[in-house]
C-alpha cells in the first residue's frame, strides 16, 4: 500500500511537470533563444549647429507594430509602399526636445542594413529641425513597440560628436529605453557620455539575463544542488562521496557564487573573442550546445559527474553561452576605443543579473534543504530541465518547430 501511495504521488508530480512542460513549450517562441534580442536603435550624429540621425528597426518588429508584411531579406522597393505609415508611426512614438522646446523630425532617405541572424533593419534617416544651437541636455522620448511587447528595448548610440571627442567608428551606446524608461536626457557637450554608455551596457547585460530563458534555466540547474555539500560515506569506503544538506548558509552561498563566477569568466572570454571577430561559431551550433548544456547540468544533479568540480561544468558551457551573448552586440558592433567599455559593462550587467537570481532562489532552497520537499524538487526539477532542454536542442539542431507542447495540452484537455 505504501508503494502504491508513493506511485500515486509520483504520478501527480509527473502530471504537474507535464503541464508545466507543455505550457513552456507552447508559450515560448519556436526554437526559443536568448540571443535574438527584440531591439531597435537610434543613431545620432551631432555637428556644430545641427543633429542628424536614423532609426533602425527590424522587419520583424515593424510587422509586430504595424503588420506591414515585410519578410526577412526584403528590398527597399518592398518597404516603400509602407514608408509613410512607418514614418507617421515613428513620429507618434519618438520625440526630441530641450528647454528651448520640441524639435521637428524631418525624414530624409531610407535604406536597409543587413543584420545577419538578427534580421534586416530598415533605416529611417532624419534631421532635427528648428534647432539653433546644440541643446544641453537633449531630451529623448521613445516608445516604439513598448505598448505591445514589454520585452522590447531600444539603444541610443552616439556615432559622431566632435565637441565630446567622439569621431568616426567610435560608436558609444549612451541610453537604453524600455517600458519604464521612455523619456531620458542625454548630455551632448560633456564628456560623461562614456560613462553613460557604460551604464547603458550594464543595464543591457542585466536585461538580457532576465529575458534569456535558457540562461536562467542553466543557472537553475546549477542552483538546485547548491544547498548540498559533498561528504564521505563511512559505511562504504574512504573515497565514496555523498551529498548532504549544508549546515551553514554562508559557505554554501559562497560556493554557488564561485561556480556562477566561473560561468561569467568563461562567457566573458568568448564574448570578447567573438566581438573582436577573432573566433566566430555558427549560431545553430552555439544555440544547440547551450540547449544541451542545461540537460547535462541537470543530469549532474541526479547522477553527479564531476565530484566537487561543478565549476568545470559552469566554465565549459559558459564558453558557449558567451558566443550566444555575442549576438547581442553582433552586427551593431560598438567598436573603436570604446569596445572595452561595452564589453566590460555588458559583462558586469550579466553578472549582476545572475547574482540577483541567486539571491532570489538560493534562500528558498536553503530553507527547504532538510524537508521532504527538497529531494523531490531536486529530482523532478532536474527531469523537467532535461525535458525542456532536449526539446529546444531538437528544434535548434534540426531547425524545426515541434508540436509536442500543443499535443500535451490538448491531451490534458487544456487546449
**Residues 352-376: tens digit of each pLDDT:** 988 899 999 999 999 998 899 999 9
Most confident of 171-175, 212-216, 294-298: 294-298
Helices of type H across 28-121: 59-66, 76-79, 83-93
Which of 156, 191, 226 is the C-terminal boundary of a domain?
Answer: 191
Q: Average pLDDT in the 64-86 region?
A: 90
Whether residues 285 and 393 share a domain: the answer is yes
Tell me: pLDDT of 32 over 50: no
pLDDT of residue 90: 94
Whether residues 181 and 104 share a domain: the answer is yes
Tell me: pLDDT of 78 over 50: yes
Tell me: pLDDT of 208 over 80: no
Whether residues 279 and 183 share a domain: the answer is no
Domain housing 98: 39-191
pLDDT of residue 328: 61
Whether residues 219 and 331 share a domain: the answer is yes
> Is 251 among the domain residues?
yes
Record the cell numbers describing residue 382, joined without a space: 532536474
Q: When comparing pLDDT for 180 and 335, which is higher?
A: 180
> Is 354 among the domain residues?
yes
pLDDT of residue 231: 58
Whether residues 307 and 217 share a domain: the answer is yes
pLDDT of residue 141: 95
CB atoms within 10 A of CB 294: 27
Whether residues 60 and 169 share a domain: the answer is yes
| The total number of structural domains that make up the chain | 2
Is the bond preceding 137 in cis, omega lying within 30 degrees of 0? yes
pLDDT of residue 406: 53
Whether residues 162 and 230 share a domain: the answer is no
Whether residues 250 and 106 share a domain: the answer is no
Whether residues 225 and 281 share a domain: the answer is yes
> Is 1 among the domain residues?
no
DSSP 70: P
Cα–Cα nearest to 62, from 117, 119, 126 = 119
pLDDT of residue 123: 93
Categorize the per-residue pLDDT at 37 as very low, low, confident or very high, splitting at 50, 70 and 90.
low
Whether residues 108 and 252 share a domain: the answer is no
Average pLDDT, the chain: 77
Whether residues 263 and 381 share a domain: the answer is yes
Long-range contacts of the stretch 238-245 (C-beta < 8 A, 24+) = 241/304, 241/307, 241/308, 243/304, 245/369, 245/370, 245/374
Cα–Cα nearest to 115, from 36, 171, 44 = 36
Whether residues 316 and 273 share a domain: the answer is yes
Q: When comparing pLDDT for 33 and 260, which is higher?
A: 260
Span 318-338, pLDDT tens digits:
888 888 777 666 544 455 555
Amino acid at each position: 500500500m505504501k508503494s502504491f501511495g508513493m506511485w500515486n504521488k509520483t504520478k501527480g508530480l509527473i502530471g504537474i511537470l507535464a503541464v508545466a512542460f507543455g505550457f513552456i513549450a507552447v508559450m515560448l517562441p519556436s526554437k526559443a533563444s536568448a540571443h535574438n534580442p527584440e531591439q531597435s536603435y537610434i543613431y545620432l550624429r551631432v555637428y556644430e549647429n545641427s543633429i542628424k540621425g536614423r532609426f533602425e528597426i527590424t522587419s520583424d518588429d515593424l510587422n509586430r507594430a504595424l503588420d506591414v508584411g515585410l519578410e526577412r531579406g526584403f528590398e527597399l522597393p518592398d518597404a516603400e509602399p509602407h514608408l509613410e505609415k512607418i514614418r507617421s508611426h515613428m513620429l507618434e512614438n519618438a520625440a526630441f526636445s530641450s528647454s528651448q522646446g520640441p524639435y521637428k523630425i524631418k525624414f530624409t532617405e531610407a535604406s536597409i542594413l543587413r543584420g545577419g541572424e538578427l534580421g534586416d533593419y530598415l533605416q529611417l534617416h532624419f534631421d532635427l529641425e528648428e534647432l539653433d544651437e546644440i541643446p544641453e541636455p537633449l531630451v529623448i522620448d521613445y516608445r516604439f513597440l513598448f505598448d505591445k511587447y514589454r520585452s522590447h528595448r531600444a539603444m541610443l548610440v552616439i556615432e559622431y560628436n566632435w565637441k565630446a571627442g567622439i569621431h568616426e567608428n567610435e560608436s558609444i551606446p549612451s541610453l537604453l529605453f524600455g517600458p519604464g524608461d521612455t523619456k531620458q536626457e542625454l548630455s551632448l557637450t560633456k564628456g560623461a557620455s562614456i560613462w553613460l554608455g557604460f551604464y547603458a551596457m550594464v543595464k543591457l547585460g542585466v536585461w538580457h539575463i532576465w529575458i534569456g530563458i535558457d540562461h536562467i534555466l542553466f543557472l537553475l540547474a546549477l542552483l538546485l544542488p547548491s544547498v548540498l555539500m559533498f561528504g564521505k560515506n563511512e559505511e562504504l569506503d574512504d573515497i565514496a562521496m555523498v551529498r548532504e544538506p549544508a549546515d551553514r548558509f554562508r559557505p554554501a552561498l559562497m560556493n554557488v557564487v564561485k561556480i556562477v563566477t566561473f560561468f561569467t569568466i568563461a562567457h566573458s572570454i568568448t564574448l570578447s573573442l567573438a566581438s573582436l571577430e577573432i573566433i566566430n561559431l555558427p549560431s545553430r551550433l552555439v544555440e544547440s550546445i547551450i540547449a544541451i548544456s542545461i540537460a547535462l547540468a541537470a543530469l549532474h544533479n541526479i547522477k553527479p559527474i564531476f565530484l566537487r568540480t561543478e565549476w568545470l561544468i559552469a566554465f565549459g558551457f559558459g564558453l558557449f553561452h558567451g558566443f550566444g551573448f555575442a549576438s547581442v552586440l553582433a552586427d551593431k558592433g560598438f567598436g573603436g576605443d570604446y569596445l572595452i567599455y561595452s564589453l566590460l559593462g555588458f559583462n558586469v550587467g550579466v553578472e549582476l543579473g545572475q547574482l540577483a537570481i541567486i539571491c532570489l532562489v538560493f534562500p528558498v532552497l536553503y530553507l527547504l534543504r532538510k524537508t521532504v520537499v527538497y529531494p523531490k524538487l531536486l529530482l523532478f526539477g532536474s527531469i523537467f530541465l532535461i525535458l525542456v532542454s532536449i526539446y529546444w536542442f531538437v528544434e535548434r539542431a534540426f531547425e524545426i518547430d515541434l508540436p509536442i507542447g500543443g499535443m500535451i495540452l490538448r491531451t490534458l484537455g487544456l487546449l
